[in-house]
């Protein structure tokens, strides 16, 4: 179990630029989640994948945000035309989704996040 890996750890960019983050989940996990966390707050759900299918998106995910998980393995989160308010920690988590005969109550395993700072 190598854990959830996120890259880069830090990203500093100018307002208006596009940024892309990558998440590599735990290899056998079919569920992948993106969350956003601002200072002093708990994480907020952004979007969820089961395998390659994006099954749920939060209203927080404006049309400037897009996420993909092309082969059901790693995922990318892209933010276009970044704004000051996008500054946050972006966290990825994965879990082992329900398989027949397996308990659906599974914990999520988080990466260390990508901290985005918009200048």
Partner 1 sequence: SQQGEEDPQALSIQEGENATMNCSYKTSINNLQWYRQNSGRGLVHLILIRSNEREKHSGRLRVTLDTSKKSSSLLITASRAADTASYFCATDPLYGNNRLAFGKGNQVVVIP
Q: What are residue 15's phi and psi, to 5 degrees?
A: -55, 135
Q: How far is the CB of 31 from partner 1 (least distance, A)?
A: 7
Cα–Cα nearest to 62, from 81, 76, 48: 81
Residue 55 near partner 1 by CB under 8 A: yes
Residues 29, 96 contacting (CB under 8 angstroms): yes
Per-residue contact string for residues 2-31; x = within reach of partner 1 by CB under 8 A: --x-x------------------------x
Specify the DSSP element, H or E, that contains 5: strand 5-7
How many Å apart are CA 59 and CA 90, to the nearest integer?
A: 16
Out of 17, 18, 41, 117, the only residue in the binding site for partner 1 (CB under 8 A) is: 41
Q: According to CB under 8 A, which residues from 80 to 99 bind partner 1?
A: 91, 93, 95, 97
- Residues of this chain that interact with partner 1 (CB under 8 A) are 4, 6, 31, 33, 35, 40-45, 48, 50, 55-56, 91, 93, 95, 97, 104-113, 115
């Amino acid at each position: 179990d190598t854990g959830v890996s996120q890259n880069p750890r830090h990203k500093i960019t100018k307002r208006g630029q596009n940024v892309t983050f990558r998440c590599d989940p735990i290899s056998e996990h079919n569920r992948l989640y993106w969350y956003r966390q601002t200072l002093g707050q708990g994480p907020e759900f952004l979007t969820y994948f089961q395998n390659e299918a994006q099954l749920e998106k939060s209203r927080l995910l404006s049309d400037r945000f897009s996420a993909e998980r092309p082969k059901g393995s790693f995922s990318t989160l892209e933010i276009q035309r970044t704004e000051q308010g996008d500054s946050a920690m972006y966290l990825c988590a994965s879990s082992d989704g329900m398989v027949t005969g397996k308990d659906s109550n599974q914990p999520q395993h988080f990466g260390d996040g990508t901290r985005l700072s918009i200048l």
